[in-house]
Chains A and B, each alone.
Chain A
Amino acid sequence: MQGFGVALQPMNLFYALLGSVLGTAIGVLPGIGPALTIALLLPVTISVAPTSAFIMFAGVLYGAMYGGSTTSILINTPGEAGSMMTALEGNKMARNGRGAAALATAAIGSFIAGTIATILLTFAAPTIAEIAFVFKPSDYFALTVVAFTSAAVVMGSSRVRGFISLFVGLALGVVGIDKMTGAPRLVFGRPELLDGIDLTVVLVSLFAVGEILFVASRFRPGHDEIIPIKGFAFMTREDWKRSWGPWLRGTALGFPIGALPAGGSEIPTMLSYTIERKLTKYKDEFGKGAIEGVAGPEAANNAAAAGILVPLLTLGLPTSATAAVLLAAFQNYGLQPGPFLFTSNPDLIWGLIASLYVGNFMLLVLNLPLVGVWVRLLLIPRPQLYAGILIFAMIGIWGISGQVADLVIMVAIGIMGYVMRVYDFPIAPVLIGLILGPMAEVQLRTALAAGQGNPAVLIGTPLSTVLLIVAALFLLAPLLLRRLAK
């Protein structure tokens, strides 16, 4: 309770607000996520008291999540891997004139997930943190295999083209220095490729640039007057009914996986999407704008963001780029996160945790009224709207690396995105391959190396066995059911 006393001081409320606004502003730019934002704000920590600084960072962390989902839904430009799944259904909803409902379910889902996750963080953090030590490389590998099943549900109409997309993603994923041996792969002597092809560049190029090229080539002026914008309808009673299940399931997936060292937000959002698609009663709506497909991944994304704080605060274990930057911030103050911080600096820790509740609430209050304003962005005339999207895509790509090579890759992958749209190749499997391929590879090789090449290690733990069975069920169950039905 003393934590709320700290967090509700006017000065700290101001920092929470500032953080939320900055986070949202930067989250709107593709590719500029919370890790980079906090890193850029690090110099501030010299002049601000630690509690206030961390309260601001908490606002940035959650604010960036909100900003990212807004662009995914409205202009089909996910900036981070975590909001990729949101774009799939969310943008379809926006096109059907239900953008406001999509933004609302994302905002409320994020709030609920963030709040539940923060409650768990408050009361169960030390216990949850221990799972970080349980997961072995073989378990991580099995987890990526389960996540790969999400590729199957976004395959589109043709298996061959779906798999081509997936394999193109896998091929893009191996470019760069091999993590295990340091050998350069598919680099062809270009030093810019040594660090691999940046996920953001692919994400932005495929979604935004590919879309601009495609729409431009088939655009008829005057069309936009006809596009129906069915009011700025908020969520209906039915939307609520269909959203709460995905919110809770998304939270349940996101929080623990976010707390794992190699977890992150990608796997839980993909899993959440897969599960919602399998569980829904409105199967034919998926791919055309199903609200479950927005509610679940958005909740999972935010819960994962809270999840990373668990091992950081309780063990001093940074499990993601964002956590590593936060750890650096602690060290700037000469503080070492870990079990001792709870006793030596209770004001800071509980103030930070309380500010997570406050920041979350603040973002909800800020964002719900803004939903109407954001949706109005779509009223900008199409030529200027698409031009603006390209500018933001460009700034995002230029801002993360400042390398001309990335602009070249943007054009190349943008053309690929165009061709894929013309010949009906699904886009999402490319990104699934690109994100999960390298994770699966590293964990597989680590597991095998530690087990001296004995493949039995892959089912060496109960958890990995269970996960692999789950993956098999995901893929085979529909086939089996069809067989049985005949």
Chain B
Amino acid sequence: MNLSLLLRANAIRYRPFYRLIALAVIIMTALVSGSLMIGDSVRHTLTNRVSERIGNTETAIFSLNSFFDEGLAQEAVFGGSARRVLISNGFISDEGRLLPVMVWGVDDKDIPPGAAKVNPRLAAELSEAATSDIVLRLPATRLVPSGSLFVTSNYTSSLRLSFAGTVPEAEGGNISLKNEQIIPSNIFLNRDELALAIETEGKLNLILSDRIISATDLAEVWTPATSGIRAATVDSLSEITSERIFLQTDLVNTIVRDNPGANRLFSYMANSLESSSGSIPYSFVTAIDRYAGLELSGNDIILSDYSAQRLGVATNDSISVSYFVSSDLKTLSEEQIRLRVAKILPLKMLLEDKTLSADFPGLSDVERCTDWDSDMPINMDRIAKEDEDYWTLYRSTPKALISYQAIAPRWANSYGSATAIRLSGPADLSGLDPAMLGLQMVYPRQMGLEAAQSGIDFGGLFLSLGIFIIFSALLLMLMPLQEMIFERRNELGLMRALGFSRRLITRILFRESVAVVLLASTLGVLAGACYTALSLALLNSLWNGAVHTSGFSFLPGWETCLIGWLAGAALALITLRIAIGRELKRVDKPPALKPLKADSMKGFNQGRLIWAGLRMDRKRAWTSFAALASGVLIVFSVGLNRRGFADSSQILSGTGGYSLWCETSVPLYHNIYTAEGRAKLALADLPSDVDVLQIFRYGADDASCLNLNKVIRPSILGIDMAALDRSSFRILQCIYDQTSSSFAALQSARGDVYPAAIDETTLLWGLQRQLGDTISYETTDGRLVSILLAASLQNSIFQGNLLMDKNLFAEIWPEIRGSEIALFRCSSAQMPALQRSLSQALSEYGARIVPASQRLKEFNSVTDTYLTIFLTLGGLGLLLGLGSFVVSVRKNLAARGPQIELYRSLGFADYRIANLLARENRIVPLAAIIGGILLSLLILGRSIINVRAGIWLTAIALMLLLLLSSLIFIRRAVERKIKNSNQQHL
């Protein structure tokens, strides 16, 4: 006889109890390990997605709003690993649908001009007609920025391509530089063809390298010419120009600083030159610091003799120059400046100076004035024969030169403050750097892996969602343990009588359970794997609303399995060890019921009998109560917390009162609020009472609940804060003074810190930050600015983005001049017609227009899906609690045999006995349901008033069903017990 034999014999003898304990351990371990495995699988899937998206790309060099020479990719620093890419937004017209796509111009011999390949996701979306003939539209990007005043009015370019197949994910079909798990829709075409379509031949805006390239490496191989800065030298004189026409202000200031005596030029088209005796329409004019020995000051103007003659003026006479200036969204206003004729020069002199005027596409390169193609309004009726004659002979030779100092502040725009700089010697451009010209560098693989591994912790999420199942399983484990020890009390008493110490007995009982727990934990891990597989399948299907992506793979690490096994086993063993110790104390020294107080001896009734029974067995009663009440709490509170989507106040604050959300693939550069803007966008028929809010976007990562990756830098929307102030969007918290409107407080920067508002969900879940935190962003010219998270917005359609005042936005990203998003407000009666007309008018911009409420619903559906998952797991916990309760009731009734006999012997009729037992057993479920409901109402607090009537009814109906089922079960169990108890007795 040895201890092992004793342990084995005991385990076999009491196996019904150990089976229940094992079941509980399996459930617990399954949930713990399964949750960890889910976290692992999601994380690994996201990490694999990084590889799918990025491949081996370590470094990406790109320019946000400009281009650079393709020769850069051939520099030795890349070691031959550089892939030359032209990238653009775009959309495909397909049977009335406008499918937004990312356009990749690549060097692939399998994609000849006229053909295109797509990734599997896009292939699945395209109709059969589209797969044979793809109509692709994209922004007519060009070298000259579309947001500037002197560009053609054609903002889109289109290509008709034949379908050449799909690019599988293994070959980079799902390439994306965004840290998002949502698979993009990619189309790949011949890079040269794309460059031709957007007039950027020989240019790139993206290099992907498999090497890690540092900023120093880049600076060593970059020259200003790479970014389109030309420095022409003629007779020891230098002239610096840009392929983009405009020279960035920082660049101008640097060159002027490094090159004393620099002469700045700004070429412009004036609406008119006017004197008291004449006027000349639509004339090229150049602002300049000095010319022909004359330093132009304040109000000086140099005319050509041609202009002087036409205007009938002489030196010192006064003329006025009218011109357009463009503000927000090409809202034009005409200004006028009065100038004194300081000099008159021969036209021939100006004509021979070929680079006095910039080459504006659509203006400089046409044969006739009437061929001018410009977004600037030109009234052709004003152009006379002499203007045409001038053009024929002299083209864009400026008719006047005016003081740069006087006019540059008015003519300067987001893209630059000069069109050329002249130097009297060789140009010193050493002060320029790639960042100044918009060249930026990121490390997508490193960032992507970081984002994937730090994203939403699904392991922790599922663990916390399933905490009540673990709790219920623990209770399920303790019940059979308590009963087993109670049943063994005589045996244990005997062991004490034979000299076994309590400690030794505890150890014996514990060691009996160790083998059971270890085996059960192992099975639990296997069950956990099934739980994981099932959960992932549900995330890929029924619960897809939580993640908006599919393709999660079952990829748990072995370490995770081990941790899950250890955690489940440890939790069970620790709990058992404590419980065994406690139960043995109870057996040794059963809690003596103290004599009742004298004042509690009044009367004797059935209630007293029932409560006495409950008090005797209070441990079981409390355990059942806890298991049931916690399940009810979860199910009830989560169920009531579902947003659903009918609360009108939530819709209003979520949409701001706006009816439609419009997003375009090609930016809208015109102001929909003005008649001119509407005419440009074919929206002349837009009702005047429709309110519009156009929004600029700095595109980065989506920090909404749709993105499972950790987002460091979310997209930023430049928006009119004053308009938000007038809307129904609601600020929840603001770190600034609350005495004034919080939106107004976001309209000013504080030093170098720019305030922004953020949707509360984005703040907490997308960024995992708090108000007061700052995020660094790189500006177009390479500076770093801090964006302060200053205010949180109630759940809104802006989820995933930061909101910044448009003026502050323009300070940081002045070159983003087109709006990609617009909100429209109209009456609900107008909405369908408005949606139709907008879709039609803006179709060439790839506009997708949805009701704002629908966008909000999509975000809410994510929250609701998480709540559904929580509800499902809570429901499982409740079922487990019910299971424990059922087992408990059955055990309780099983032990009541002698009591039932006693009642009978005392003359209790069967129905009375049944009533007594049923009433006693009803107390726990009734108390649990009421307690669970009251606690959940307390937790919900004031948000109760937002719960829809339908949800209330459902919740109440479910609870009533639960209560009714419990009562029916109890009644039937009691009746069955009484019927079965000793058939021989009467």
A, B assembled together:
no
Which residues of A does B touch, CB under 8 Å?
none
